[in-house]
Amino acid sequence: MRGTRIRRVLLQGQALILALTTAYMSYVALGLLTNCQSPVFVVLSGSMEPGIRRGDILFLTNYKPHEYKYENGNIVVYKIAGETIPIVHRVMQTVIEPQMCATYYPNPGCPGQQLLTKGDNNDVDDVGLYKGLERLEKEHIVGKVRFIIPLVGYGSILLKNGDPRVRYAIFAFMGLVNLMRN
């Protein structure tokens, strides 16, 4: 009887580890397919409302960034060095530095392309967020938004930023359900 319980607990632990490993490997594979370090992104603020709301999940791609040209109107996620949270905003202006692109222009992968972004719900552009830079360069871009799943990521925001007691209660409930399942 005791051996059966121990075996059941070990099998449940094994199933949990397998599920977590599968989820992680799927995320890594998606990153490789999309050429994005972070192919899935949860929106944390309302700076892009009404089109993109807090809690929406964004799927990003960054196919061949050395050949890819961003255009006005594209929605991109960018990250400035030293910052921990990436930002999702719309490209408002693109600038191509002619001296850097003389040998590449009109190749869309010109390394001298620079971007100015702005949140749809913001009054001013993002220059104040660039930490001394006048424009973003391609190395700041995490990816281009390809599609959006509305509000699905809101649970993630609540778990991360909500009351820790709620988080512990949810995890305790999930564990209890898993233990009572068999």
For helices 154-161 and 164-180, give the axis angle rounded to 10 degrees: 110
Q: What is the DSSP letter of 82?
A: T
DSSP string, 108-142: TT-TTEEEEEE-TT-SS-SGGGSTT-SSEEGGGEE
Whether 125 is catalytic is no
Backbone angles phi, psi at 20, to 5 degrees: -65, -40
- Counting every residue, how long is the chain? 182
From the list 47, 123, 140, 156, the catalytic residue is 47
Whether 66 is catalytic is no
Helices (runs of H) and strands (runs of E) counted in the chain = 4, 7
From the list 26, 45, 66, 89, the catalytic residue is 89
From the list 26, 120, 126, 163, the catalytic residue is 126
Backbone angles phi, psi at 152, to 5 degrees: -65, -30
Whether 140 is catalytic is no
What is the spatial distance between Cα 94 and Cα 73, in angstroms, rounded to a whole number? Answer: 10
As annotated, the active-site residues are 47, 89, 126
